[in-house]
Amino acid sequence: MRVWRAVLLMNLALALGVMVGYLAWGRHVVRLEEELATARRPALVPGTWTVRGVVRAVLLPANVIILTHEDIPGFMGSMTMGFPVKDPKLLEGLDIGATVRFTLTGVPPELTIRTIARENP
């Protein structure tokens, strides 16, 4: 009978230790996940970037230009995407395939083209 009680007490102690350890580790994991999410969140700081690109399409009714642009330092790699334009007059005279230099301003991902100029070939 004594061995039975000893085994039962050992199992209870083990179960209690595992439960307390699991609860403590669970709180630690939640805190680490919150810290990781905070570290991954980009700073919402307005920025200005001047970049070169090639015009792929001009959507006058939407006031958007689609460009294949080079790397935007500190923000994104080169890709093809659409950008809203601050002033529709900036889109006048731009042809598909034209190489341009443009300035983006705003808080990512809400960027707007403020200036755009055609580059000589």
* Better-scored residue on pLDDT, 18 or 115: 115
What pLDDT, on a 0 to 100 scale, did the predictor assign at position 42?
67
List C-alpha distances in Å: 42 to 75, 79, 112: 10, 20, 18
For the segment 34-93, what is each residue's pLDDT rounded down to a tens digit? 888 877 776 677 889 999 999 999 999 999 999 999 998 878 899 999 999 999 999 998
pLDDT tier at 96 (50, 70, 90 boundaries)?
Answer: very high
The domain segmentation of the chain, as residue ranges, is 1-41, 47-118
- The domain defined by 47-118 carries CATH number 2.40.50.320: yes
